[in-house]
Amino acid sequence: MAVDYLGLNLIEPYLLPQHMDVTGKVPTPYSSHFRQPAEWETHYACWLAWPSHEDLWLEGLEEARSEFVALCRAIAGPDAPQATIPEKLEILVPDEAQQTLASQALAGLPVHFHLIRFGDIWLRDTAPIFLTNPRGGLATVRFRFNGWGEKYVLPDDAQVSVQIAEKVGGISFSFPWVLEGGSIEVDGEGTGLTTHQCLLNPNRNPSMTQESVEKGLRDALGIEKVLWLDKGLLNDHTDGHIDTLARFVAPGVVLCMEAQAAEDPNHAVLEKIAQDLASFTDAQGRSLTVVRIPSPGKILNEEQEVLPASYVNFYIGNRTVVVPTYGTPQDAEAVALIGQCFPDRQTVGLSARAILRGGGAFHCITQQQPIPMRVE
């Protein structure tokens, strides 16, 4: 069927996932030529969820909302160069009262609200992943969600991906195994990054081997080659999500962090990550170029526990790259170095300390919806 995004005539592919193909097999995204695009490819919108739950955020709710609003304003990019396509904001709200609050806070931005209940705001993990194919098709792909290994099982989170997929419409694929969006990083050219600690963790898919996970990632996301890091940051309740460890910033180029002091709680982990990345080749046969930026160092909460703070948990928007900052001496250098990787975008650093206390940063609370382009 024909759909229209920003005035472009885009044709959905002829294969529907609920139908058998001529061989009697149910088509997968891979067999239908779908792939997960790189994050720097053009977006139609960014999906987020308005911080709403006082029982979860307690006295930190208002500060988290302030950081959320600043992120939304940066993504919409009203002050950024206007040559690029603007990015809409698709925001979940659990009820009309919260929609009123969110509407007031986000006045003047290109927001579309959706009355969808959710457990918390981590849409990178609970929303569907968006796929495109060369025919100009857009699809969503959904996985089972089990609360990050059944550690944080919140009401409504497991249904978020289904409801967003229904709102978007079109083709939606579904897989019965557990995968969170923050656990996989792609370059859009067939390469994926992940960690053993997360995707091979028995609290996700205990019956799946590394080989079966790799086949699943190919079938679901179009990943031809998976590059495995070992483990993630100290006290990361996601069990080593890749989006706090290493990010592609261009084909063949990956960014990771470097400890600035021996007392950095992640010193050894960060060194091992850089060494492993330097030894990898991608799906196109290129040796990876590794760019290193400072680590924020030891960031503590009110109970003096180490938090999994990371500068690489940034969001790549159409006009801006939004980098989480934590009030450390390394903030400015990290933002500047990330900015050098994206000369066509405005790179901004914004406080994410309140959101970090909730468990993550900007990449964790966003999920991009790409604009599918037909390739002739």
Catalytic residues: 364
**The pairing of beta strand 138-144 with beta strand 129-132:** antiparallel
Locate 41 and state its tokens. 């490819």
Q: Looking at this protein, which amino acid is placed at residue 340?
A: Q
- Cα–Cα nearest to 309, from 289, 288, 321, 293: 293
Whole-angstrom distance, CA of residue 35 vs CA of residue 191: 11
Whole-angstrom distance, CA of residue 23 vs CA of residue 223: 23
In degrees and rounded to multiples of 5, residue 217 shows phi and psi of: -70, -35
CB 173, CB 220: distance < 8 Å: yes
CB 345, CB 314: distance < 8 Å: no
Whole-angstrom distance, CA of residue 346 vs CA of residue 315: 12
The CA-atom distances, in angstroms, between 139 and each of 30, 154, 163, 221 are 12, 26, 14, 11
- Which residues lie below 8 Å from residue 86, measured CB to CB, with a gap of 6+? 76, 77, 110, 318, 319
- Which residues lie below 8 Å from residue 73, measured CB to CB, with a gap of 6+? 109
Q: Looking at this protein, which amino acid is placed at residue 190?
A: G
